[in-house]
Structure 1
């Protein structure tokens, strides 16, 4: 009974407490140390320390190593998406080091330790690649499968059958994993709600008078906010095609009406797919707009914008002042998963928009590294 409580409640609670500490400390590291190489070195040293604490507690409380990949999976998926997954491959080296330094009893062979890391790393890459955007569900599957992969190798060394003699431990591990996931998601959800409230207050009064969306000043403030509060954001840059011709042929008043109609249609379209707290529209410049999709994949954003592009290309704009003006737009999309900061993401989304315009306009393009 005591081991069951430790494996399913107490130890998972300790892991969640470590994760909250990691989130706080890593955020401070990113603020204080701006050099990316130095950040990486400090993060590795901190991970080394946190993993040592986790393993020591595991051996002391449970008499064996459990949940050894729990910290790094959260770090890789929620805190450092760009390079965190490679720290998974560092974990077996740390385990070997600990086994020599503190006489940590690791029941599996060193070859098996590296096999576990390779399997979990491969699983991470495959699940992260899947196109659907249910972020927490994807991670839940990844986390539980990873805990079972690790348990399989460890328990095989002490039992004859993974699914019979060790079935009770397997159930406890799955239960403990769910406790970790639910507890972290509650913490993460509260954080995201707090960030959403701050974002809303930050930009509430900075509205573009013509279109009613957030203005460039609000975008600048949001960029500064997001530098400190890392979130998964997909950025779409939209630029109306040949808008100068509309102004030249119909006058600027008609051009203004077209911009208002375009934004109203865009807002209505986005509301079909997203809650208002998960998307923001900014007027970037004259006829250029920037959209932030929170916690959405590039593919999801692409489908939404592409559907809107097809919807409006024959839709008459400015009907109140003319017989109707047809417009199209070009768009570029990128997200923050593989970027060091939001400014780099904006730059690459703008580059993709430029590619769309250069290749014939009236297109939506997702940024790829081979554009460089």
Structure 2
């Protein structure tokens, strides 16, 4: 009895550790798209699944629960990544059994793959049921145990299940699943808190558009350089005069109104996915433009100027206007910082020419 408790404790502790490791890594990296591809998730998974196979072999005398990590990833992190882990687990199991004994046949290896497919299909079906997440995972784990029993029946050399092994594996499975479930709830809350803090750090408090920090972070993205056509800097004309004459509160309301109308007009002209708007300075905004299909850049900014000049505020007798400079990335070796500096110089040309106009580079 004492050895049984020790074996259950060892396997349970190992399962909880593996669950915590893989959920932490994938929640903070894979889901946040910091990985360049799927190679990193595979590298993370390989030692974890190997540890699971080794510990179950040492504790029980055979491999058990070998698709459990894939089930957890499927439900808690990503169905896409979890599905890949089922078939990756099958390959690791085949390699592991091949290391243990040299008599693994092609049919036996094929049966391991079939077990992976059966467990994956069962898991996917459980995920479609309108029941609680913990019940879905429990159902998938039960189906995994059934498939393991089939594996032991058809490949008795490697997978025969004993009563003692079943007691250890099922008990460890239940305890580890409960612990992992509540750990996932905790880490999901932590990720949400971090996302909220990151969002506040990336957004301008007044206008709620992305700020200068986020702009420079975007500049470091390869995708930004590949997709962006031009960078524009817009400056609200005579904002300092408004701020000095009518007060800080009116100045803030003016900026908010100005930014909202810019944003709405650009959506109407370019569509939601073809530009991004950032708060750049006191009264300056940066627009990164991906495409202006069916229009010239001049037409876009002329229409934008017309829209802004029609905006009225009760507190202000003057109509709004802006000065702007637009530079193309292609003209500056697709370097966003150099392009931004060029747009800034063009903005000053617009100001010196009398404001209420846009200076655009030749492409």
Greater CA radius of gyration, 1 or 2? 2
User: TM range, normalised to the smaller chain?
Assistant: 0.3 to 0.5
